[in-house]
Amino acid sequence: MNDLEIKNASIIDGLGNDTYQGNLYVKNGKIVAITHKETLEAKVSINANEKIVTPGFIDLHTHSDASFLLEPTAQSKVRQGVTLELIGNCGSSTCAPLIGESLNLFKQRTSVYEKDIDVNWTDYAGYIEASKKAGATLNIAFQVGHGTLRAAVVGLDDRPPTAQELTEMKRLAGESLDAGALGFSTGLFYAPGYYARTDEVIAIAEEAGKRNKLYSTHQRDEGSTTVGLFVSINEAIEIGRRADCKVQISHVKCASPRVWGKAGEYLELLEQTVKEGIDVAGDQYPYPASSTFITGALFPRWALAGGREATLKYMADEDDRGRIIDEMNETFKQGRGADGTIIARYVPDESLEGKNLEEIAESMGTTPAEAALRIYEKSEAMVVSYGMTDEDVETFAAHPLIAVASDGESLSTEGVLSAGKPHPRSYGTNPRFIQKFVNDKKLVSIQEAIRKMTSMPAQRLGLTNRGRLTPGYAADIVIMDLPNVEEKATFVDPHQYPKGITHVIVNGEIVIKDEEFTGKTPGKMITNFNS
């Protein structure tokens, strides 16, 4: 007897094919049969009449590295249909390896939570084992981050690695990939990744290429801050070309006024690269605003060299402080200004959360740049920054080379993961894409939208048995009431679960039933292509 039947379903297979009617059967965590009219015996039956049944969504770009160590039932992603998250993005595999300065960064980045993580590991294998013991609502796949490797071996200084240090970074990368990481990521926009030259990245990315694993990148510039958007894209492509690995350009965007309206040119470059034979694609969250640490958003990179203590010393020097402020003001000019930079999480003073830097500066009786420095003097802060146009976002959303991914993390409306005013993408990315670009604007079909959330990201990761509804594949399944799919999370009130995602099944277990969490944590650690 089968474990589960989903009957009278409008099935979307994940490959972009037409919807068809059928009954789907699950046993031992796998799809075992899909029938058109025939019914089979099952212990549990779900009537999906007038609903759409799809593969579980795969989120290629998340920052949930610590989420499930803090709270195994973190629900913000699974309630929007996500059944697998890829962590370790933007060059930051926060939790591993933890050596030298990478351990200090881990402590800094997890200090925003009112709960400590008991660390009993240093390497990636230990982190994966700790994740298995903690459990999760959904499946987790891993990447090792270049910034974390650099912090562990070189530290936080602005200098090239020695030959010995580069060898050690390559060794740690290879060790992490062999332990189960499915990719290698960079955050070349951020310190300390910013300090790396292209050849350094290529040398480490070769370790991913040897193992046929993914190279994903928060590229060096997504607007006009440093080298420029198109120089940055070409660097990402060149890394893939020379390291012989798949390239995933993270959270594709045109992020400053100087490059607004250039989404078409961006996509043409990717298309040309694919024709050349280089395996490159991108992913996108469907919002005009981004989110990161205040240092990453505003601080000049020279002022971050050496870590927090060095930055505070720069800020204490009158001349250096003035230089930092001047460069911050230039950053404001290149984006949407200080009124478009909003505090999302700030532990020392939660009253600042939800306010923009212009408002905060006025209350302090100073300038926005000076206000940002005063905030950082007490603690790091998370910010939301408006820097994109809706037109560019829509152009990217409609293109077949761009997958849907959140750049968020698994959170919860209660407990340790409910603090602050985070970017709503952690709660609403997939429902928003369906609601806005499928139902409302009709930019893409529902079949294409589902492909961007399922088989496409599975293919990018190299997964052989997830991302499709077909017998033999893992039973990661979403049931939705398509006309009523709705993002509820907002920038003002982000901790809200979506509507219309009625059931979510992870490895054959019902995790969301009638839009309510069942309490189950059947997620697995995905450490090889066949997991």
Please provide the DSSP assignment of 455-481 as one string.
HHHHHHHT-SSSSS-STTSB--EEEE-
Residues in the chain: 531
Helix, strand, or coil (residue 86) = strand
What domains are defined for the chain?
57-288+388-484 (3.20.20.140), 293-386 (no CATH)
Q: Of all residues in the chain, what percent carry a pLDDT higher than 90? A: 97
pLDDT at 391: 98
pLDDT level of residue 50 (50, 70, 90 thresholds): very high
pLDDT at 335: 77
Summarised one tens digit per residue, pLDDT across range 265-294 is: 999 999 999 999 999 999 999 999 999 999
pLDDT at 334: 81
Rounded CA separation 55/170 (Å): 36
Rounded CA separation 391/386 (Å): 14
Q: What is the pTM of this model?
A: 0.97
Taken in order 380, 384, 387, 388, the sign of the CA dihedral is positive
- Location of structure tokens 């940055």: 232
Rounded CA separation 116/110 (Å): 8
Secondary element (H or E) of residue 369: helix 368-378
Name the token pair of 508: 């054959």
Name the token pair of 174: 């290879």
Rounded CA separation 515/531 (Å): 27
Q: 341 near 383, Cβ under 8 Å? A: yes
Report whether pLDDT(94) > 90: yes
Secondary element (H or E) of residue 321: helix 318-334
Burial category of 28 from C-beta neighbours within 10 Å (exposed 0-12, middle 13-18, buried 19 and up): exposed
Rounded CA separation 479/9 (Å): 9
What's CA 5's distance to the chain center, in Å? Answer: 32
Rounded CA separation 111/105 (Å): 10
Report whether pLDDT(115) > 90: no
| Closest to 420 measured CA to CA, from 72, 76, 88 | 76
pLDDT at 388: 96
Rounded CA separation 508/25 (Å): 10
Secondary element (H or E) of residue 342: strand 341-345
pLDDT level of residue 111 (50, 70, 90 thresholds): confident
Secondary element (H or E) of residue 404: strand 402-404
Summarised one tens digit per residue, pLDDT across range 481-524 is: 999 999 999 999 999 999 999 999 999 999 999 999 999 999 99
Rounded CA separation 279/263 (Å): 19
Residues with Cβ within 8 Å of 134's Cβ and at least 6 positions away in sequence, in order, are 68, 69, 72
| Closest to 253 measured CA to CA, from 210, 286, 208, 277 | 286
Rounded CA separation 306/156 (Å): 5
First to last CA, the chain: 24
Average of per-residue pLDDT across 123-146 = 98
> Beta strand 516-517 with 509-513: parallel, antiparallel or unpaired?
antiparallel
Name the token pair of 148: 């974390």
HSE-CB of 515 using CA atoms within 13 angstroms: 12
* DSSP state for residue 530 in the 8-state scheme: T
Rounded CA separation 372/352 (Å): 11
HSE-CB of 459 using CA atoms within 13 angstroms: 17
Report whether pLDDT(401) > 80: yes
Q: What one-letter code names the amino acid at 399? A: H
> Beta strand 57-59 with 82-86: parallel, antiparallel or unpaired?
parallel
